[in-house]
Amino acid sequence: MCGHKGYTSIATWARSQPALAKALGFTHKKTPAASTIHNLFKKLDVVALEETLTQWVNTVIKGRPDLTHCFDAVAIDGKTMRASQKSGALTSHLLSVVSHELGVTLTQQSVSDKTNEIPVSTEILKAFDV
């Protein structure tokens, strides 16, 4: 969330973005508190969110001919998230596809303890028309 990692930091940043809050449909003068953001993230379907974001990125890039070159050079990188298992996360290893041109993650997928990055990388690239 714009470089902010904690719920309090996200809430503080959101308070400084009144135009964005209005565009997102917030009607109250205040944006959600850190506890509300925490509760929201706990209830999110992470897989559905990641699939939706991947589809959205793909649609935006494919709809803008000036951005289609963003698939010319991508990096596939795996990261193990420290302390994620301590906090009860089901997965602690993610494989991400990053666009060099845009400098953003195009998609990511968890890597099961029972496999490795190679089969996941094959699967993750199917999300894109490359």
**Predicted local confidence at residue 39, as pLDDT:** 92
Are residue 108 and residue 66 in the same domain, yes or no? yes
Mean pLDDT, the chain, rounded, equals 81
Does the pLDDT at position 74 exceed 90?
no
Are residue 75 and residue 88 in the same domain, yes or no? yes
**Predicted local confidence at residue 34, as pLDDT:** 92
DSSP 40-108: HHHH--HHHHHHHHHHHHHHHHHT-GGGGGGGSSEEEEEEE-TTTTTTT-S--EEEEEEETTTTEEEEE
Domain hosting residue 72, numbered range: 45-125
CA distance 43 to 26: 19
Q: Looking at residue 30, what DSSP letter applies?
A: S
Are residue 49 and residue 28 in the same domain, yes or no? no
Are residue 82 and residue 108 in the same domain, yes or no? yes
14-70 pLDDT, tens digit each: 888 889 888 988 877 788 889 998 998 889 898 898 888 888 887 887 778 887 777
Vertex 32: Cα angle to 27 and 38 (nearest 5):
145
**Predicted local confidence at residue 86, as pLDDT:** 58
Question: Residue 1: inside a domain, yes or no?
Answer: no
SS3 109: strand
Question: Residue 130: inside a domain, yes or no?
Answer: no
